[in-house]
Amino acid sequence: MKPEGLPGRATITFQESAKVALANTQLRRNMGKATQTIRAKRAAVVGELPDWEGLREAGRAIKERTLRHLDDYLLQLEASVQRAGGQVHWARDAQEANRIVTQIAQGHGARSVVKVKSLTTDEIQALVAKFAQAAVHAKRAGIHGVEIHAGHGYLLNQFLSPATNTRTDEYGGNIAGRCRFLIEVIRAVRAPPARACTTSSASPTRASR
């Protein structure tokens, strides 16, 4: 049974998909809550800095100056990388960059390539909202218990382990920070409208501290 408010597998346009999403009142409430949380956290941090506007303007000026002299900075970067024993590859366009990456991978006998990217706090909050929405769909389907899997190298487990979580913000650092994402997911799933009975499983790690 297809969850209420979600399109099927047939190809639809962005405009059609947007209409379906906007008609999903629960999704709108979840996203609204996530957005309000993000804005409240930002306001709290901004309030701690009396010279926030000045710092933002200084950051903007640094960015613009760097972009104006990007060619010089890139040459400085190349020199620093070479001094450290590295090699910088220059590409004129995306096609040439793809060829360089392919040659490097083939030269090392690589069979798979993994791209690593840290989630932004906005993306984390959006994921928390999606966990809550999934619990709502489960409840509508007659499922009253939800197990949140935080083990075996999956995303939540990656946040828990200091071996994979090297963040320096509120979602990293000590054990409290590394558990923050999981705790927020559990609270969101237990909160209305899902109110799901929740258990969580995690893999042990020797690196916990």
pLDDT in tens, 110-154: 888 777 778 999 999 999 999 999 999 888 888 878 889 888 889
**From the CB of residue 176, how many other CB atoms can be counted at a distance below 10 Å?**
9
Report the distance separating Cα 206 and Cα 161, nearest Å: 9
Selected residue with higher pLDDT from 169 and 3: 169
Q: Could you tell me if 77 and 66 are in contact, meaning their C-beta atoms sit under 8 angstroms apart?
A: no
Instruction: Give the pTM.
Output: 0.48
Preceding peptide of 193 cis, ω within 30°: yes
Q: Is the pLDDT of residue 11 over 80?
A: no
Report the distance separating Cα 102 and Cα 96, nearest Å: 10
Q: Which residues contact 138 (CB under 8 A, 6 or more apart)?
A: 146, 194, 196
Q: How confident is the model at residue 42 (pLDDT cuts 50, 70, 90)?
A: confident
**Residue 10: its pLDDT value, please?**
59
Q: Within 13 Å of residue 190, how many CA atoms lie on the same side as its CB? A: 12
Report the distance separating Cα 92 and Cα 6, nearest Å: 42
Q: Which residues contact 164 (CB under 8 A, 6 or more apart)?
A: 157, 158
**Residue 204: its pLDDT value, please?**
56
Q: Is the pLDDT of residue 9 over 60?
A: no
Angle subtended at Cα 177 by Cα 132 and Cα 201, rounded to the nearest 5 degrees: 50
Report the distance separating Cα 171 and Cα 119, nearest Å: 10
Nearest to 178 by CA among 148, 147, 150, 199: 150
